[in-house]
Amino acid sequence: MLKIKIIVVDRTRSEFLKQGESFYMKRLKRYAQTEWVETKPVGIKKGRSTFGILKEEGDSIAKKLVIRDYIIALDRSGNAYDSEELAARIEKLSLTHGRLTFVVGGPLGLSKTILNRSHEIFSLSRLTLTHEMSRLLLLEQLYRAFTIIKGEKYHK
């Protein structure tokens, strides 16, 4: 069974998004051994540069990355697949990689270091999404991708 690791910054604060995450995590686990990893956030405070915050958050993320994993970062600058293309991409990757790691940044996004270290960058939308909404959308699209790969009905 494919192993998926989803690395996110901080725990989910929004109650309804937390419920949504559990909902899709449960579904996703039918198709892949899915692990959810939360890393330490760095507060946005006066006097702290975006660069400094992203660097420190990136260091926490880097500790959770495993050398042989295929790493997919989420960023608006990435490839904007449609759902069928995303499913095809995941199916292809799953043939050559036992483990896929997705990385979703915090409110300020991901550091250049993490983006450069990733094998691939996905964009969910041209729109700016909250980082917590991105997580939900990622989970929903992964679930959707597996229903497409397996030719199964999408359960709403």
Instruction: Kindly identify the residues of this chain, within the stretch 134-153, that bind its own copies according to CB under 8 A.
Output: 137, 140-141, 144
In angstroms, the Cα distances linking 62 to 14, 39, 114, 123 are 25, 10, 7, 20
Angstrom distance (rounded) from CA 37 to CA 11: 9
Q: Which stretch binds its own copies (CB under 8 A): 10-18, 27-35, 59-67, 95-103?
A: 10-18
H/E stretch holding 36: strand 33-39
36 binds its own copies (CB under 8 A): no
Taking the least distance from each CB to its own copies, the nearer of 23 and 70 is: 23
Angstrom distance (rounded) from CA 110 to CA 106: 7
Minimum CB separation from its own copies for residue 138, in Å? Answer: 10
Residues that bind its own copies (CB under 8 A): 13-17, 19-20, 23, 76, 80-83, 86, 107, 124-130, 132-133, 137, 140-141, 144, 156
